[in-house]
Amino acid sequence: MATKTAAQRREQARIEYDAFLKSCPTNQLLDRISDKWVSLVVAALATGPMRYSDLGRKIAGVSPKMLTQTLRSLERDGLLTRSVTPSVPVRVDYELTTLGDNLARLLTAVKDWAETHFDEVREARERYDTEGADTGADEVRARQK
């Protein structure tokens, strides 16, 4: 048998680790709230029920595909309900469930944290970005992204 390379061993580890992460509730939730649109949808619905196109307008930059996809996944997780009214033009309303409302509150906590500590982060960034500029080194330039 061949000696495994570092990359091979890491790949093996990655597979196991990935499996572990998928079964980890924390990570699953993190995946959820980290979705670009999820937080926006939840925030929009936090003020009350909304129709599909209202959401599309309120969130502005979202494509119908992503909006639907986001709503479906949230519905699947029991975070919101989808109610269809079969009128002449169909009407679909979305509304947060108790659980969804609960998530909205968690997001509020995150938001509060962000607003509280954002100044510190900004200062840290400025320090980091200018550090070394006065010491004569200019290798930092490339790091600006």
Partner DNA sequence: CGGGATCCCGATAGATACTG
Partner DNA sequence: CAGTATCTATCGGGATCCCG
Q: Which residues would be at the binding site for a second copy (CB under 8 A)?
A: 10, 13-18, 25-31, 33-35, 39, 59-63, 72, 75-79, 99, 102-103, 106, 109-111, 113-115, 117-118, 120-121, 123-125, 127-129, 143
Give the Cα separation of 53 and 50 in Å (integer): 8
The stretch near DNA (CB under 7 A) out of 61-69, 103-111, 115-123, 130-138 is 61-69
Residue 90 near DNA by CB under 7 A: yes
Cβ–Cβ < 8 Å for 37, 70: yes
Amino acid identity, position 54: D
Phi, psi dihedrals of residue 51, rounded to the nearest 5°? -85, 165
**Partner touching 45 among DNA, a second copy, none, CB below 5 to 8 Å by kind:** none
Cβ–Cβ < 8 Å for 104, 96: yes
**Partner touching 102 among a second copy, DNA, none, CB below 5 to 8 Å by kind:** a second copy
Cβ–Cβ < 8 Å for 50, 58: yes
Residue 10 near DNA by CB under 7 A: yes
Residue 22 near DNA by CB under 7 A: no
Reduced to 3 states (helix: H, G, I; strand: E, B; else coil), residue 83 is strand
Which residue, chain included where needed, has tokens 């709503």? 71
Of 68, 102, 108, 130, which lies in the binding site for DNA, with binding defined by CB under 7 A?
68
Cβ–Cβ < 8 Å for 39, 33: yes
Instruction: Name the token pair of 143.
Output: 């790091």
Residue 2 near DNA by CB under 7 A: no
Q: Which residues sit at the interface with DNA, rule CB under 7 A?
A: 5, 7-8, 10-11, 14, 35-37, 51-54, 61-66, 68-69, 71-72, 82, 89-92, 142
